[in-house]
Every structure is written in structure tokens, then in C-alpha cells.
Structure 1
Amino acid sequence: MTGKRRIMNSLLAAGDPAARGTAIVTTRKPGDTIEREFRSLADVPDGQFSVVDCVSRSGGFGLAEAAPGRRYISDPGDLTGIGIAMTEFMRRFHEEGRDARIGLHTLSTMLMYVDLKRVFQFLHVVTGRIATSGFSGVFVLDDNVVSEREEMIMLQPFDAVMEVREDERTELRVRGADFGPRAWTPVRFDALVQ
């Protein structure tokens, strides 16, 4: 309810998204919803936008066969399938000589399917591939699903953490990076996309 998915999409869409590739893994909302939300912020050609959908197949939604920019995974616990699909899209962007941004909404759902150790190992591999490719990644974790200890473990592979809270308005602060506010600051969603 704090707008984390909207913030993730805004960060992925910032700058000139038509000049790079974007891939989003969704473990909570159907891929069509994620694509519609992202495209409301960014006008990107079909070949430069991809979705790894971990919801639609297990939810029984009518599915066509995987399209060039879409991969359907059985459920959010299939870390191997998710990793293969993410790698496929990252490899394609890399071979095309494109920069890319990778998003994952949300790690919390993965933790309902598999244990913390396996999710941490998955994150270690995926963030390593993102860094090696020179890409950027934005991952969402609902902190009310994990303990403080589990949260600290989950955050280890990341360079920076953006915390989001909602009181009367949505606010954020950034830790571990040279960008963003250090103190709680009201979110201006329009400014995130620029």
C-alpha cells in the first residue's frame, strides 16, 4: 500500500527507456497488469520490454504461448525458471548492445514458496549477473513479511536500499548510495520518472 510497485516502475522508466531494455519479474500481479502500469509511464518498443510472469499460469488465467517479450513461470517458487527467463532477456539486451534495467516485484512472495537461504542464493546470482552486464536492478521487498534479521540477510547483495513508508503521504529515504535523500522525504512520483 506504500506505492513500492509504482516507485519501482518509475525508477525503471526514468530517463530514456526507449534507449534501453527493461525486464520486470512479477510474482504478485499478472504480467498484463505490470506491462500496462509500466507502459503508462514509458513509451518503449515491444522488443525492448519483457515480463517474467510468475502469476498467470498458477492463477489459471487464459494464456497464450510465450511471446518474444513474455515468459510464464509456474509459480514464484520456481527460482530456476525465473533465473533462466531473466538471463535470457538480459543476454538479449547485452547482445544487442543495450543498457538495461531489471525489476522484480516482489521478493516477499518468493519467500512464501521457498526458504530464505534459496532466495538469498538466487539474489546473489541474479545481482551478480546484473552487475557483470553493467545493468541496473530494482527489487521490492515488503518488510512486514520478514523479520529484521531476515531483512538484513536479504539486503546484503544490494548496493543501496530505498526505504518507503506511508503515514499521511508516501515518503522515502535512501541508504548506501550517493543518490537520493538520506532523511524521510515525500515522494514526488512525477520527479522519479524524469
Structure 2
Amino acid sequence: MSSESDSAYGFGDGVPLEPVAPGTTVLVAGPALSRTEDLARSMVTDGNSAGEGALYISTNKTHKKVLDACRQTHPSLDTDMVGVIDCSGQEIGQSPPGVNVKYVSTQSDLTGIGMKFSALYESLYADATGGRVRTSLISLSSLSMYVDLRSLFQFAQTLSGRIDSADGLGVFAIDPTTHDTKTVNTLSQVADGRIEVRESDDGDNELRVRGLPDQPTGWHPFTLP
């Protein structure tokens, strides 16, 4: 991971996280009914207003649903700096103007996803302010239903390595309740740290950070628009 600098990646006011160093990949872990995926998506969209690239690898939602979700938290989304790899396997429609969308017909085609990722990343990197690109993979749990653990680990590790070498930011979502401990621990190895998400007894969304330096300790509430 690159050393922390003034170019660290920051997040929205409602997310109690300190900026993280370029080259970092984090795992956002929480159950499906929590706001885990919303948080992972928002952490990437947070850089859009500063001219950073936002690349979404979506395994369970169409590109239209991804963009709608992004606009819920960031209404002024600049789609010129957005790229979506739609791996949902649902009907391919016409891509919206100003958004670079690439399709992969099935979640099991990790090679195809990787190729689309490389092409989209290079395009966004060339146009983004300072070459800064944030990548969201939602989700590892969805991909695990189509490929074996070894292949998924190698794929995620390759993505993380590319993000590191480009001084980007990676945010990978996972639902640990759908996996055994070995699987979660194995996939956690591709990330520099982990953000755990839960819903409190009062119904608040909370997070805590593991493995990342200079972050708040314990559980803290977070809010998304």
C-alpha cells in the first residue's frame, strides 16, 4: 500500500472515517438488510464532485439501478466520470448518455470482468483529477455463488493489486452471514482493512474499522442521504 499523503481519499460528512492512503482497498462487511452496499457505493461516489473517477462493478444490479442508487446519495452526480461494469446478467438496455457502461453476460466470467475493468479504469484514470479513481465491487458474496473460492480470491487480489499500483481506492462489499469463517478470512486477505456494518438496537446504522491506521475505535453511527 502506498504511504499516506495529502492525496488521501476522504469521505462524506455522515461517514465517520478518516481519509485513507492512496492504494488502499477496504472490505465493507455486513448483512444484506443493512446499508452495507449503500455505504460501499457512497464511499466511491464521494469523490465524484472533486473530479475523481468512479468505477462500479455490479454483480447484482443493472447499471440503471446502480446509477439511481448513486444519485440518491449524490444528486449532482457527474456521469462523465462514472463507469459501470454490469455483470447482473439481466436484459441489456441502451446505455444512458454520458455514462461508460460495459456488459459481462454472467458473473462467472471473471476474465471478462477483469478485461472490462482494465479498459474502464484506464479511461477514467486518463480523465480523472490527478488520476484518482475509486472502485466499488458489489459484491464478493454474489460472485461466490458462481465461482470457487480460489478463483474469487485470485480475482479480487488482482483487482486490489491494480488499484494499489495506480494509487486508487478499492471498496469491496461482502455479506459475511452467507459465508463460513474460512471464506470470510480468506477474502479479507485481499484488503488492507475492514469496515464492519450493523444495525443497532435503536435502528441506527453503525460501523467500526479494523486494520486501518488512524481510524476511530469502536462502533459509530453513520448516515447516508
Q: TM-score, normalised by structure 1?
A: 0.88
For residues 122-137 of structure 1, what are the structure 2 equivalents within 5 Å?
122-137=155-170
Matched, 1:13 2:48: no
Listed one character per residue, the Cα deviations across residues 19-49 of structure 1 (whole Å, up to 9, x for unaligned) are 1110101111111111111123232333210
Distance 1:179 1:7, change over 3 A: farther
Pick the structure with more helix per residue.
Answer: 1
Matched, 1:69 2:100: yes
- Single out whichever of 42-51 and 10-19 deviates more from structure 2: 10-19
Partner of 1:172: 207
Rounded to whole Å, the distance in 2 between the matches of 1:45 and 1:15 is 10
Gaps of 5+ in 2: 1-32
Partner of 1:26: 58
RMSD of the TM alignment (CA)? 1.9
| 1:47 alignment partner AA | D
Gaps of 5+ in 1: none
Listed one character per residue, the Cα deviations across residues 84-109 of structure 1 (whole Å, up to 9, x for unaligned) are 11111111122335311000111001
Q: Quick check: 1:22–1:50 contact (8 Å CA) kept in 2? A: yes
- Please, which of 155, 175, 183 is the counterpart of residue 142 of structure 1? 175
Offset, 1:15? 4.7
> How many aligned residue pairs are there?
187
Rounded to whole Å, the distance in 2 between the matches of 1:80 and 1:179 is 36
Rounded to whole Å, the distance in 1 between the matches of 2:198 and 2:96 is 36
Partner of 1:41: 73
Distance 1:73 1:15, change over 3 A: closer
Distance 1:114 1:186, change over 3 A: same
- Please, which of 186, 189, 194 is the counterpart of residue 224 of structure 2? 189
Q: Which has the higher contact order (CA 8 A, sep 6+)?
A: 2
Q: TM-score, normalised by structure 2?
A: 0.77
Rounded to whole Å, the distance in 1 between the matches of 2:58 and 2:212 is 25
- Please, which of 186, 205, 225 is the counterpart of residue 153 of structure 1? 186
- Please, which of 110, 113, 119 is the counterpart of residue 146 of structure 2? 113
| 1:48 alignment partner AA | M
Rounded to whole Å, the distance in 2 between the matches of 1:37 and 1:152 is 29
Distance 1:11 1:179, change over 3 A: farther
SS for the counterpart of 2:65 is helix
Q: Quick check: 1:107–1:141 contact (8 Å CA) kept in 2? A: yes
